[in-house]
Amino acid sequence: MLSYMLNLIMLFYCKLSHLHLISTLGQKLNLFIFKKTIMRNTFIKSALWISILFLILPGCAPIVLTGVGVGAGAGALMVEDRRSSGTYIEDESIELKTSRRIGEQLGDKVHINVISFNRNVLLTGEVPDEATKVEVAKLAMSIENVQNIANEVIIAPKSSLASRSNDTLITSKVKARFVNNKVFQVNHVKVITENGVVYLLGLVSRKEGDAATRIASTTESVRKVVKVFEYLD
């Protein structure tokens, strides 16, 4: 019932474009909650919905929810992630907002991947010239709460579907080797591949970062490894 009422409020008071963004975030949020095995806790899900509203819908009226156990349950969401629950959701919001803004401004003449981790944004992909590369970084930096930009975009034709499929395969191989090596907790390192180049992100110790780099660099078909870590030590 509570979720239904929240949806009604958003329907009447928020713009259509915002609703599309909420829908996409909602899908990711539900998947994340499922992974943490607390999907049945309506109060927690509702509290996280409200967090999203405050992050991305400044034009909507604020909604306040009170309930017993919300704080304790929400903390359980991030047991396996070194980011706080608020930062995790904010990273998802930053990715969606940045991708949308780049798409609106530059259209299909560019291919850009946006990854946000702890409010630090990694940009990869292809653009036609240096001026466009600079513009992409400016657009990303204009998004609220973005702290830093790692602009790894290259000046080249847009990658082919075959190339992107191969990148997906490489990412899967790297992650599988992380699991098999059991040197660190796998979800502490995020893996992104573009044109055979593997980018590693995360909040890690230097030992964990070195291990992840070694494993990734010795994985089949990897041309290069770029570290975009934040170190804890």
The structural domains of the chain, with segments of one domain joined by +, span 83-156, 159-232
- Cα 21 to Cα 51, 131, 199: the distances in Å are 14, 29, 26
Bin 81: left if φ > 0, else alpha if -120 < ψ < 50, else beta: beta
CATH of domain 83-156: 3.30.1340.30
pLDDT at 80: 76
Whole-prediction pTM: 0.67
* pLDDT one-digit tens code per residue, 114-172: 999 999 999 999 999 999 999 999 999 999 999 999 999 999 999 999 999 999 999 99
CATH of domain 159-232: 3.30.1340
What is the pLDDT averaged over residues 200-215?
A: 97
Question: Quick one: which of 18, 51, 65, 220 has its CA closest to 145?
Answer: 51
Mean pLDDT over all residues of the chain?
Answer: 79
